[in-house]
Structure 1
């Protein structure tokens, strides 16, 4: 391995154990004293070598806390990763001019061995030395060197123990931060659930048990302490939505396709709600293990949407369906009639004398007349089967479905003509209105919405021309339009 790469590995290993510039530790100090005592030298040290210096983790004798790396004896052990013994440095040409030989601490004898740190892959990298030094020359015995090697093993064990403790502390800190992060996310999720009126759930397919978040308990109006009512969950969905939900779940299990649907819901306290449910399959090793999903209380949104829809389809003054709603329903019924071969009728109603009410009694009185007309069109004999609407101004319409026979319609029309006669009073003045009706049946030849409305309009104005306050029915015969 190139020297520069080896040096980089040594410096990386040294940085990872985070031992440089740490306070004295009794275990390292005791080891240095033991080496000094056993080998009988005046100095001993446990030395760490970084890029520019040698720093003593433990030292005995007249040694500075740190020195430059260049002239250091230990730097040679560090770089060669081999034991070094110098019996008399003053006579050794390699060291005779060394500043630590000619000056303090006046080294003559030196013996040092590598101290290594174990890496994650099991390899060992030199990070420093264990050495003994003396101001007097001496010739070490093999036993001295063996002791030094064994003490270096103890030093390595101390380094490893410290590295393990450091990693354990780092792992503990990581776990602490992870737990804090999870707890923070849990709180945020609970806040989001409360703000969105939402909760999450998980159904274990093997154990057939369901788990709820706090938000689901809130939607059900159940206490969390009571636990999930596993055997009663579907009871909160009334039919037919219960069956729709179960069918969707079965499709998800069979196909793996998720679903989302809106359903009616009744809480544990009997309160009606509207909820949005979602569901998907949770896989483990490619196999379904659970169903997971969300449930959200959308009652407020649903109510607002229904109110907006009702407003879009309702005449504000009379609270009857408006022209758009009538046209939409008429087209639907015409399509069904064409498919089934059944029949239906449209009644167009125009009020006679309504302008006179506005002129004589004012628009407020006119509005009241329109509301009274609407009340008459909501009478039970019409509501059982018919659909009444205000088309605009003093024009109304009634859709008569196929369930009403033509003979029955005659009776309804006679009753309706009587009900449409209204007398209004105000300021000592009296005005009256009546209704004229034009009737058209869809069965009178090919028919779409425009056609049946045009036919009813023809019958209406024929009735007005003949006698106001009466009804006429449009008939098609021999290519001619007839009313009667």
Structure 2
């Protein structure tokens, strides 16, 4: 028995309803803007994305204010380019809804021409907040140490290159600092890994607070930490900062009813200007300074200077 072709054709109202439902499920809405009057037209999906009450007047100036600053600039530039060239553009933008929630939105812009001139622009807006959050979560997992939340070795190497090559800030990095905890293995062996983890987290917190203006604070692994100093820049002042850091890290830690004695040895190398040296060279110098600090009795710091001499802090 042959199927009646007419039976599979949906009525217009059903087709429209299913189409709208599919768009809503995908958190997509359509929009249009008349270029002469700047009159906006939205489908319900766009109202939902912006958390904008249906029926309220759509004024472009008010809607533009809901874009976060950088996204607003990017959106206006993309809009102008589509109007000028007629080529469609798609970009991700960040907005604050009328309720103050921050969302990411994928915005597509196209232009319709009449009489050879652009008459209106139109496109779609899709809520991609969950996608951006998932990507950000994966990035965090790839770039941060899961125990302390500090930058890991991979992110450190990337950020180091960014900082020293930052032309806008004149590559403002003054020293590479390596920190190694003294007696950490003994603490782990005596009190267990939970005590060791608590110690590492406390050291991370102290470094994060003390060096919140640093280029980067990271954990290389085990009980090794690393800092890119932006300031100070003078060797004597850097040595003084390192001495203060030794004192700060040697304060005892109380954990689970136990009084934990901790201390750290520090080695640092001056970055110098212009920044032409490879990171491996700086690590070698800082590592040598760290070795000298430990050989001198631990719980102290050494700064390896440009001239190849170490300074006790």
Task: Determine if contact 1:360/1:431 at 8 Å carries over to the other structure.
Answer: no
**Matching of residue 483 in structure 1 with residue 310 in structure 2:** yes
Specify the alignment match of 1:41 in structure 2. none
Q: In structure 2, what is the equivalent of residue 420 of structure 1?
A: 249
CA contact (8 A) 1:361 1:426 kept: no
How many pairs does the alignment contain? 304
2:39 paired with 1:212: no
The structure 1 segments of at least 4 consecutive aligned residues displaced by more than 4 Å after TM superposition are 402-405, 424-431
TM-score by length of 2: 0.87
Q: Deviations over 1:39-92 (max 9, x none)?
A: xxxxxxxxxxxxxxxxxxxxxxxxxxxxxxxxxxxxxxxxxxxxxxxxxxxxxx
Q: In 1, Cα distance between the equivalents of 2:69 and 2:246?
A: 42
- Give the match's secondary structure for 2:309: strand
Partner of 2:122: 292
Q: In the alignment, which residue of structure 2 is the partner of 1:279? A: 109
* 2:102 maps to 1:233: no
Q: For 2:202 and 2:78, locate their aligned partners in 1 and report how far apart those are by CA, in whole Å.
A: 47
2:162 alignment counterpart: 332
Note if contact 1:346-1:398 (Cα within 8 Å) is conserved in structure 2. Answer: yes
Distance 1:257 1:360, change over 3 A: same
Contact 1:275/1:296 (<8 A) preserved:
yes
Partners of 1:347 and 1:440 within 8 A in 2:
yes
1:405–1:264: structure 2 CA closer, same or farther, 3 Å change rule? farther
Of the structure 1 ranges 269-278 and 184-193, higher mean CA displacement relative to structure 2 is found in: 184-193
Would the aligned equivalents of 1:313 and 1:324 in 2 still touch at CA under 8 Å? yes
Q: Calculate the TM-score normalised by the size of structure 1.
A: 0.58
Q: Given that residues 334 and 448 in structure 1 are in contact (C-alpha distance below 8 angstroms), is that contact kept between their aligned partners in structure 2?
A: no
Structure of greater relative contact order (alpha carbons < 8 Å, 6+ residues apart): 2
Distance 1:179 1:359, change over 3 A: closer
Instruction: State the SS of the aligned residue for 2:65.
Output: helix
Q: Which aligned pairs between 1:34-433 and structure 2 lie closer than 5 A? A: 180-181=11-12, 183-284=13-114, 286-336=116-166, 340=170, 343-379=173-209, 381-401=210-230, 404-423=233-252, 432-433=261-262
Cα distance change on mapping 1:194 and 1:473 into 2, 3 Å: same
* TM-superposition CA deviations, 1:6-48 (whole Å, max 9, x none): xxxxxxxxxxxxxxxxxxxxxxxxxxxxxxxxxxxxxxxxxxx
Larger Rg over CA atoms: 1
Q: 1:338 to 1:249 in 2, by over 3 A?
A: closer
1:176-219 CA distances to partner (integer Å, 9 max, x unpaired)?
A: x99933x3342223112211111110112233211101101111
Structure 1 403/432 Cα, relative in aligned 2: closer, same or farther at 3 Å?
closer
Alignment CA distance shift 1:428-1:269 (3 Å): closer
Distance 1:442 1:388 in 2: 16
CA distance in 2, matches of 1:339, 1:215: 43
Listed one character per residue, the Cα deviations across residues 411-468 of structure 1 (whole Å, up to 9, x for unaligned) are 3212210121154567987653211111111117841111111111111112111221
Indicate the RMSD between aligned Cα atoms, in angstroms: 2.7
8 Å CA contact 1:385, 1:403 repeated in 2: no
Give the aligned partner of residue 89 of structure 1: none
Aligned residue for 1:383, secondary structure, equals coil
Give the unaligned 5+ runs of structure 1: 1-173
